[in-house]
Amino acid sequence: MPILVQNDLPAKQILEDENIFVMDEDRASMQEIRPLKILILNLMPLKEATELDILRCLSNFPIQTQITLMMTATHTAHHTEASHLNKFYVTFSEIRNDYFDGMIITGAPVEQMEFEQVEYWQELTEIMAWSRTHVYSTFHICWASQAGLYFHHGIRKVLLPEKLSGVYPQHVLHRKKILMRGVDDYFNVPQSRYTGIDEQAVHQNPELYVVAASEVTGSCVILAYSSRQIFVTGHTEYDRYELDAEYRRDVSRGLNPSIPVNYYPNDDPNQVPNLSWRSSSNCIYTNWLNLVYQNTPFDLTKIPPLENDSYPVTGFGTS
């Protein structure tokens, strides 16, 4: 996919070295089309690594896609250079009057805190409320899925007995939903979290639709409003070494972590981790962009609010 990014974004060179087509601003200006506008709210501490992970996932769609990176204004990032943030990121106040085809909200390492205790919670709730009228479809990742389910649907999170860490097979429950098109009956998803969600409340909520799940990890992919809200409880965007880095970090902190499940060959952390989720991840993100492309109005200001969405969803069923 021609991902449209700023000319000197560091991730651009890395992606090009991986033979991923990245279009810069100069070349994009020569094409007389409206690109898909995708907003990425990056809540992760290592923002450059997360940028790269997500842009890889968005690289298999043929339509020009314009990426806007956003950070919170109420929290100062300590693990990313200020010069990078000032140059490549916007805050909510700068884009609140804009409209987007899609938005991705990343996870964040704050899951053991109550939502209301998170420094930027009030700002995040304002952004999530805004998404209901200014974004066609929002893709929530890991902690963001818990935050979104809590804010939009009143689903509470629950503390797990121990950290869920590893790569777990998920079972496709509803293949006719576009997000699952082309995905195998079982597909792997990395998980790295101390909390889960109230599964009973999810299944009792008529607005929520579970399309992939595991007996071990619970609901993995949850849809609402005909896929205009997507909640993924794991990290389909992770690269090969993300879980490895987290495991070694926890070891260095003396947390005595369990070895991530289904990750290292023979459960040996000295071996190169298996990458067993890339194809399904690419498929899911491409399906999401396809949904957005086929259903977002050309004039983004005409996106219907979720509460009174009468805009037809093209051939993908409803949730």
Residues annotated as catalytic (active site), given as ranges:
142, 235, 237
Q: Which residue has the tokens 């060959």?
A: 265
φ, ψ for residue 58, nearest 5 deg:
-95, 10
Residue 244: CB partners within 8 Å, gap ≥ 6? 260, 263, 264, 269, 273
Q: Where are the alpha helices (DSSP H) in 111-237?
A: 121-134, 143-153, 199-204
CA 313 to chain centre: 21
Return left, alpha or beta for 125; rule: phi > 0 is left, psi -120 to 50 is alpha, else beta. alpha
CA–CA distance from 294 to each of 28, 31, 36, 56, 95 (Å)? Answer: 21, 20, 11, 22, 24
E-state strands within the chain? 3-4, 22-23, 36-41, 65-70, 89-90, 100-105, 135-141, 157-172, 186-197, 208-214, 218-224, 229-232
